[in-house]
Amino acid sequence: MKQAFLKAPYLVEIRDVACPEPGEDEALIDVRACGICGSDLNSAQTAEEFKPFGHEMSGVVQAVGPRVSNVRVGDKVTVESSSFCGNCAMCRNGHPELCRDKYIYAPRYNGFAEKVVARAGALVRFDDLSFEEAAVVEPMGVAVDMVNTADIQLNDHVVIYGAGPIALLAVRLVRLKGAGKVTVLAHSHSRARISLATSYGADSIIRTDVSDPREVLRGEQVDRVLVTTPPSTLADTVEFASFGAVISMIGIAKNKQESICALDINRMHFKRLQLRYSFASPALFFPLCIDMIKNGLVNVKPLISHQFPLEQMDRAMLLCRDDKASAVKVMMVRTPEDGSL
């Protein structure tokens, strides 16, 4: 079978590798769609050796191990990037989001391939969705976690720093939570993303390369800030967040140096700010996200800006790097040779 491997700077190799065999509690998945994540782009800038990649995936169960009972051959599934164990003290005390014995599936499967093996417990069945929509469930779960962490209240003014796919999904989600006003901070070159932010419910866009958000938001009531950008932007949020505001963040840096940022702790103290970090591992909320997409509460189709076959993953990665104007969620899509769904 064919599988993509990634190395910095943005080098992709498509290799012929042996098809994996599922273990007793695993399933073999025929991959139909897999999205490029920001973490993949980080790897494209930092990975010193070629490695498999891709975790936002959906596909069809092709084979199962003897201990698998939750899925059958032919089921359409999306795959959790990690899952809680269900047995540790945190899980049994009702906090699976704090599970530290979680199953990490990424080392066993890699979505930019024809087939992957994953533990059956990571598979969530779906129907009445396209494979492309189902591949957006994983990043949507990340957005749900960030929004829940922020604890949006009715009529809050929510500022979302960034306009990537997770930020755009958050725009729609905070509207569903009852936000009264939504402001998105984005770079002017992100034209497609700015348009989507508006269509998902943003009231205003602050173009960070044109205007300083600290000045534009000065004097406004800012109740919640959602940060999907690198940590360097946190200092700005401390300035424009209002007294008692909550700052929820998922943005990560691509290296140790960029992960360090300076914050005015006295400013945070006297403004009674709360900084809450969201970390969607183990991955949660897949059934919720599937239902919300099926019911029309969140339309993820506009996010999928480009589709490529597996053999053109090099082009897909370069498009993410170079086409800031139109690239949003770039996705690998496969149609099996037999033409089956």
Report the SS3 class of residue 134.
helix
The answer to the question of residue 97 being in a domain is yes
Residues 56 and 158 in one domain: no
If DSSP codes are grouped into helix, strand and coil, which group holds residue 331? Answer: strand
Task: Return the higher-pLDDT residue of 258 and 172.
Answer: 172
The answer to whether residues 172 and 46 belong to one domain is no
**What pLDDT score was predicted for residue 254?**
77
268 and 149 fall within a common domain: yes
% pLDDT > 90, the chain: 88
Dihedral angle computed from the Cα positions of residues 319, 29, 282 and 306, in that order, rounded to the nearest 10 degrees: 20
What whole-number distance in Å separates Cα of residue 227 and Cα of residue 215?
18
On the question of pLDDT at 339 being above 60, the answer is no
Residue at 294 is within a domain: no
Asked if residue 170 belongs to a domain, the reply is yes
pLDDT (0 to 100) of residue 341: 56
Q: Is the dihedral of CA 99, 101, 103, 104 positive or negative?
A: positive
Domain assignment present for 285 = no
Q: Is residue 47 part of a domain?
A: yes
With 60 as the cut, is the pLDDT of residue 335 above it?
Answer: yes
Q: Is 163 in the same domain as 84? A: no
Is 341 among the domain residues?
A: no
Helices and strands of the chain, counted as H and E runs: 11, 18
Cα distance between residue 142 and residue 175, in whole Å: 17
How many other C-beta atoms are found inside a 10 Å radius of the C-beta of residue 259?
Answer: 13
Q: How far is CA 117 from CA 60, 64, 66, 303, 337, in A?
A: 11, 9, 14, 27, 20
Banded model confidence at residue 270, pLDDT cuts 50, 70, 90: very high
Q: For 19-76, write each residue's pLDDT tens digit.
A: 999 999 999 999 999 999 988 998 999 989 999 999 999 999 999 999 999 999 999 9
Task: Check whether residue 216 and residue 262 sit in a common domain.
Answer: yes
295 in any annotated domain = no
For residue 206, the Cα-to-chain-centroid distance in whole angstroms is: 23
Same domain, 87 and 162: no
Say whether 72 sits in a helix, a strand or coil.
coil
Residue for token pair 């729609």:
172
CATH classification at residue 199: 3.40.50.720
Decide the pairing of beta strands 304-308 and 329-333.
parallel
Domain carrying residue 65: 2-136+300-333
Q: Give the pLDDT band of residue 107 (cuts 50, 70, 90).
A: low
Q: 190 and 270 in one domain?
A: yes
Task: Mark which of 277, 292, 309 sits at the end of a domain.
Answer: 277
Residue 252 is predicted with a pLDDT of 81
What's the mean pLDDT in 122-151?
Answer: 97
Boundary of a domain, candidates 240, 262, 277: 277
SS3 308: strand
| Ramachandran angles phi, psi of 97, nearest 5° | -65, -15
Please spell the DSSP secondary structure of 87-119, one letter per residue: -SHHHHTT-GGG-SS-EE-TTT--SSBSEEEEE
State the average pLDDT over residues 126-133: 97
- Judge residue 257's burial from the number of C-beta atoms within 10 Å of its C-beta, 0-12 exposed, 13-18 middle, 19 or more buried: exposed
The number of domains in the chain is: 2
pLDDT at position 74, please? 97
Q: Which two tokens stand for residue 203?
A: 């009231």
Strands 103-104 and 157-161: unpaired
Instruction: Quote the mean pLDDT of the chain.
Output: 94
- Classify residue 248 by burial, with Cβ atoms within 10 Å: 0-12, 13-18, 19+: buried
Higher pLDDT, 108 or 331: 331
CA distance 41 to 52: 13
Residues 6+ apart with CB under 8 A from 195: none
Does residue 121 share a domain with residue 63? yes
Residue type, 224: R
Dihedral pair phi/psi, residue 332, rounded to 5°:
-85, 130
Across 127-131, average pLDDT: 97
CATH of the domain at 96: 3.90.180.10
Do 128 and 152 belong together in one domain?
no
* Residues 123, 81 share a domain: yes
297: its two tokens: 């509460």
For residue 324, the 8-state DSSP code is T
Distance CA 329, CA 42 (A): 15
Say whether both 318 and 243 belong to one domain: no
Inside any domain, residue 340 = no
49 with 102, same domain: the answer is yes
